[in-house]
Amino acid sequence: MRTDIFNSLKFASVPFIGIGNAKRTSLFSHPYLSFVKAAVYSGKTPWNNNKSTIVGLSHNNNVFACLAVDGESDTKQKQISSMFNVTTHKLSNTEYDINIEVTSATPREVSIEATPQIFSAMPLDITYSIELDKLITKVPKNPEGRLMMQSPRTRLMNGQIFVPAGEIVDLGPILKVIRRKKSSKFSEDSHLITRRVHLSIRKRLYEE
């Protein structure tokens, strides 16, 4: 089973992109947003046609942002539409919460690293909080063959990302999972690495 994609964990390596000069009014009819639904659903990313969990954020019946949760991923098997459970909550006309958790439907053997991407018709500030298992990146040589340190402790990583209007922005490789089938040799299932991700998305108000 592949574990090499997790040997270099760069959760903090997220981009900072300059302010875009695109007009909000023209971006609302942009091909990347024209067919995005104001919902959480399994679909195709508008910019590369990859299968992904899609989140469409809207205001006054206009979809202004599209988040592709796992369209960009490195995985040992075919993409799994039910890999991540995504919920959204609109706090106000300018602020939205998105929660991403690994679902119980995740197969017993899977290795995946996913980079969420977002495209928006207006500038956004995203504050993220990532809950991680305490982990080691190499498999220890012990009879149990555990991939992870056996510990209930987790750690949090927090930060901010600026999303300019009219650009596709990578949020970084923040979704990482290793699971292994139970067997006579390995009776204990491997832990997850990313347990959950919370995104607080706030629209930047500006004049046209």
Q: Does any domain span residue 72?
A: yes
Q: Does any domain span residue 124?
A: yes
Task: Say if residue 150's pLDDT is above 50.
Answer: no
Q: Does any domain span residue 70?
A: yes
pLDDT grade, residue 180 (50/70/90)?
low
Q: Does any domain span residue 208?
A: no
Q: Does any domain span residue 153?
A: yes
Q: Which residue has the higher pLDDT, 156 or 168?
A: 168
Write out the residue range of the structural domain in which residue 61 sits.
4-201
Give pLDDT tens digits for 47-96.
Answer: 999 989 999 999 888 899 999 998 888 775 555 556 788 999 999 888 99
Three-state secondary structure of the chain: CCCHHHCCCCCCCCCCCCCCCCCHHHHCCCHHHHCCCCCEEEEECCCCCCEEEEEEEEECCEEEEEEEEEEEEEECCCCCCCCEEEEEEECCCCEEEEEEEECCCCCCCEEEEEEEEEEECCCEEEEEEEEEECECCCCCCCCCCCCECCCCCEEEEEEEEEECCCCEEECCCCEEEEECCCCCCCCCCCCCCEEEEEEEEEECCCCC
Q: What is the pLDDT of residue 66?
A: 96
Give pLDDT tens digits for 186-200.
Answer: 555 556 678 889 999
Q: Does any domain span residue 138?
A: yes
Q: Does any domain span residue 207?
A: no
Domain count, the chain: 1
Q: Does any domain span residue 115?
A: yes
Q: Average pLDDT in the 1-30 region?
A: 55
